Amino acid sequence: MDSAIIEIRAGAGGNEASIFARDLFEMYSRYAQSQDWRCFVLDSSSSDMSGFKQIVFELKGENALEKMKHEAGVHRVQRVPKTEKNNRIHTSTASVAVLQKPRETEISINPSDIKMDFYKSSGPGGQNVNKRQTAVRLTHTPSGLVVCSQVERSLDDNKRAAMTILQAKLFDLKNNAAQSKITEERRSQIGTMDRSEKIRTYNFPQDRVTDHRVNKSWHNIEKIMKGKLDDIVSKLQETLK
């Protein structure tokens, strides 16, 4: 049973981009349910309108990484936002990065290489979360990687979640010859999050989802956004290998 660490970040488009990031997370969560995978949120940063500036989560189950790996890249949405009063179509983006979760034997971190900071969580969670310093920020000194977690109520749970994110990112570094190479790889996944850089477009007015890498479209966008990704995932696995 393998795991994939998914990182979704809102890109161009302001609040609508953060709402789209939330929609992508919900889409993947529902797809995970259909695959009998488990979903664990490791970190999130909320925005206005109940969106996500970013969210990091783990999908654990059979073939999770194999089926999710082609989701990496910039996703573009074209629709009329709920806040739009003049019925104009807006274009927004969100980036998706997919990381492999290493086994404990595959990555070793020296505790002395980690700088740990604690702070008060800014997201929802009630008085306990917001009054106590339960959020965790880990800085891996040798690589300069910084990861955070603030979604759990306890300090220990957030430390474990942050360590999971850090291990996944360090595993990517380990699998590349140099840090510049992983930076280049991550940039190739998420680009600059500009509207023109995209792997897939979700066009709501035309009820169509188009994956530009395989030049194929699927209709019934509402069904797709509810997690019905089997046809898309199968096509990508078949074509991109």
What is the C-alpha R_g of the chain?
18
Mean pLDDT, residues 228-237: 96
Angle at 2 between CA 238 and CA 29, to 5 degrees: 75
Residue 206 confidence (pLDDT)? 97
Residue range 2-101+181-240, CATH number: 3.30.70.1660
Same fold, 2-101+181-240 and 106-174: no
DSSP β-ladder status, 52-61 and 73-79: unpaired
220: helix, coil or strand?
coil
Query: Using one digit for the tens of pLDDT, what is the confidence trace for 67-87?
Result: 999 999 999 999 998 777 788
**Mean pLDDT, the chain, as a whole number?**
86
Count CA atoms closer than 13 A to 159's CA, side-chain side.
11
Q: Which amino acid would we find at residue 213?
A: R
Dihedral, CA atoms, 172, 173, 175, 178, nearest 10 degrees? 150
Mean pLDDT of 88-103: 90
Distance (Å, rounded) from C-alpha 92 to C-alpha 145? 28
Give the residue from 165, 138, 129, 128 showing the smallest Cα distance to 3: 165
Among 36-40, 190-194, 212-216, whose mean pLDDT is lowest?
A: 190-194
One-letter identity of residue 6: I
- Cα 142 from Cα 140, distance rounded (Å): 6
Going from N- to C-terminal start, the domains of the chain cover 2-101+181-240, 106-174
Lowest-confidence region among 23-32, 99-108, 219-228? 99-108
Query: How confident is the model at residue 125, as a pLDDT?
Result: 43
* Complete edge-to-edge strand list for the sheet that includes strand 135-140: 114-119, 135-140, 145-149
CATH of domain 106-174: 3.30.160.20
Does 129 score more than 70 pLDDT? no
Tell me how far the alpha carbon of residue 155 is from its chain's centroid.
23
pLDDT digits (tens, 9 = 90+) for 7-49: 999 998 989 999 999 999 999 999 999 999 999 999 999 987 8
Q: How confident is the model at residue 127 (pLDDT cuts 50, 70, 90)?
A: very low
SS3 state of residue 156: helix
Q: Which residue has the tokens 């070793």?
A: 108
What is the model's pLDDT at position 189? 64
Higher pLDDT, 209 or 175: 209
Q: What whole-number distance in Å separates Cα of residue 101 and Cα of residue 163?
A: 11
pLDDT digits (tens, 9 = 90+) for 141-151: 988 889 998 88
> Cβ(13)–Cβ(75) under 8 Å?
no
Torsion of Cα atoms, 195 then 238 then 97 then 197, to 10° = -10
